[in-house]
Every structure is written in structure tokens, then in C-alpha cells.
């Protein structure tokens, strides 16, 4: 019960960061599972967090769909290719040493933090449609992104958004909305693969997801008030991710006997 309560609190932190700055926060799910909630097996932490990420992405997708921010055909093709990649990636991730996987995960977090600090253009072709020109790019980008997402057990929105923009030239708003279909699909594929190996704590996943809903609502409300400081908030979250990543590298190095 205590672990589930801590899990709900950790989920609320992830949901709050997502609601506040709109991205990047979900990558904190795995380190929170391991170092705060106390999940000893990194693979169980990845599988469990994948369940929560998939559920949260699904809910956020409905919000964007109601606003017309989803390019369904482009998103569906990207997600379809990515699901195959996510299955292959998650299968490889399960077979990879847990501590080494956490170390690689920390390096990925550093890359995410750098990407978060970069500005994103709001320009693009709002009328973009799936065609013969962008279909091969969507397939290739989707497969590559799904592979990485599955391997690390993340939704990979920070990879999906630029992937969609590069492949189609759609504006950032549509890329964010469309990315959620792929994020939900990738995370769900990873969760199912890990669940087949008994690497999902379902009770903890529900608690984490429940906390994420509450935290997300609070984050969205505060985001409206602090919208003029969005750049600063994004920088703060990026800084937090860097600190957590460095801590993970230190702990992983200790576990692997490097220091």
C-alpha cells in the first residue's frame, strides 16, 4: 500500500510536468519508479511505466482530437510502422542488462533535455495530407522512433514530434496532437510485451496513472497562469532532467562496479 501511494505521488509529478510544459516529463517516469517508488527491477519499472504512459497518451489524444489537432492518416501510418519497431525494441530491451539499460536511459535523458532547450518553430503546412511523397518518410521515421521507444520503454513523444514535422512539414500544433496516437501505440506495445514476461506491476501502474491524471489537471491550470513563462518553465524541467540523468549515471556506475 505504501509503495502504491508513493507511486501515485510520483505519477502526479509526471502528470504535473506534462500539464505544465506539455512534454518531456514522461521520461522521468522510469527513474521515479526506480529511485523514489523503490522498484528494484529496472525492467519492471519500464514495463509498469509504459502502461501509465500509454493510458495518459490515450486520454490526451482525445483532447487534441476534439480540437481537430490530429492528422489521422499521417499519424496512423507513422504509428503502424512504429508498432513493429516498438515490439522489436522492447524485446531487445527485455534481454538487455537492467543496470546498463538504465545507464543508456540516462544518456537519452540528457539528449531530451538538450532538445527541450531548443526552440520549436510554429510554422508549417496546416493542410498537409498523406501522399506518395511523405508516406516513405513516415514509414522510415515511424519504424526508427518505435524501435528506440520500445527499447527504452518510453512513449517517445520528444522523438515522434520532430519525426512527424520532418516527414510531412506539418505545424507543431498538429505534430503534438498527432504524436499522441503514436506515443499511445508504442507504449502499449511495449507494455504488452513486458506484461507477457511478467514485468508489469499492475496495481502500481494504476496508482501511477491515477496520480498522473490529478497532477495533469493541476499542471494544465497552472500552465494557463504561467503561459508567459513557458520558456523558463521548460528550462527548469530540462535542468531537472539533467540532474536526474547524472544521478542515474552515478548509481548505474556504482552498480556496475565502474566506481
* Tens of pLDDT, residues 99-111: 888 888 888 888 8
Got the DSSP string for 3-70?
A: HHHHHHHHHHHHHHHHHHHSSSGGGGHHHIIIIII----HHHHHHHHHHHHHHHHHHHHHHHHHTT--
Query: Is pLDDT of 44 > 90?
Result: yes
> Residue 253: what pLDDT?
83
Considering only CA atoms, which of 93, 98, 57, 55 is closest in space to residue 208? 55
Give residue 22's pLDDT: 58
Q: Is the dihedral of CA 62, 112, 147, 190 positive or negative?
A: negative
What is the residue-wise DSSP string for 196-209?
Answer: HTT---HHHHHHHH
Q: What is the pLDDT of residues 146-194, one digit of tens each?
A: 998 899 877 777 788 888 988 998 887 788 889 889 988 999 999 999 9
| C-alpha dihedral sign at 155, 157, 159, 164 | positive
CA 259 – CA 133 distance, rounded (Å): 51
Q: Please give the pLDDT value at position 193.
A: 95
Structure-derived torsion over alpha carbons of residues 90, 88, 163, 168, reported in degrees to the nearest 10: -140
User: Residue 151: which domain range?
Assistant: 2-255
Report whether 33 contacts 49 (CB < 8 A).
Answer: yes
Domain total of the chain: 1
Q: What is the pTM of this model?
A: 0.82
Amino acid at each position: 500500500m505504501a509503495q502504491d501511494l508513493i507511486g501515485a505521488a510520483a505519477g502526479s509529478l509526471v502528470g504535473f510536468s506534462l500539464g505544465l510544459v506539455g512534454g518531456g516529463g514522461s521520461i522521468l517516469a522510469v527513474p521515479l519508479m526506480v529511485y523514489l517508488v523503490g522498484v528494484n527491477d529496472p525492467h519492471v519499472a519500464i514495463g509498469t511505466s509504459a502502461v501509465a504512459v500509454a493510458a495518459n497518451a490515450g486520454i490526451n489524444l482525445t483532447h487534441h482530437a476534439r480540437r481537430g489537432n490530429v492528422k489521422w492518416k499521417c499519424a496512423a501510418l507513422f504509428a503502424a510502422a512504429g508498432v513493429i519497431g516498438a515490439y522489436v525494441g522492447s524485446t531487445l530491451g527485455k534481454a538487455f542488462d537492467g543496470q546498463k539499460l538504465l545507464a543508456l536511459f540516462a544518456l537519452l535523458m540528457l539528449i531530451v533535455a538538450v532538445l527541450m532547450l531548443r526552440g520549436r518553430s510554429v510554422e508549417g503546412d496546416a493542410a498537409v495530407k498523406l501522399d506518395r511523397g511523405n508516406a516513405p518518410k513516415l514509414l522510415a521515421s515511424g519504424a526508427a522512433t518505435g524501435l528506440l521507444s520500445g527499447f527504452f520503454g518510453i512513449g517517445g513523444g520528444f522523438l515522434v514530434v520532430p519525426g512527424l514535422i520532418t516527414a510531412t512539414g506539418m505545424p507543431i500544433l498538429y505534430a503534438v496532437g498527432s504524436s499522441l496516437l503514436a506515443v499511445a501505440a508504442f507504449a502499449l506495445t511495449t507494455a504488452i510485451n513486458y506484461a507477457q514476461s511478467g514485468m508489469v506491476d499492475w496495481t502500481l501502474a494504476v496508482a501511477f496513472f491515477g496520480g498522473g491524471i490529478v497532477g495533469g489537471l493541476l499542471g494544465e491550470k497552472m500552465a494557463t497562469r504561467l503561459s508567459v513563462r513557458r520558456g523558463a518553465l521548460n528550462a527548469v524541467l530540462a535542468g531537472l532532467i539533467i540532474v536526474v540523468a547524472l544521478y542515474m549515471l552515478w548509481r548505474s556506475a556504482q552498480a556496475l562496479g565502474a566506481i
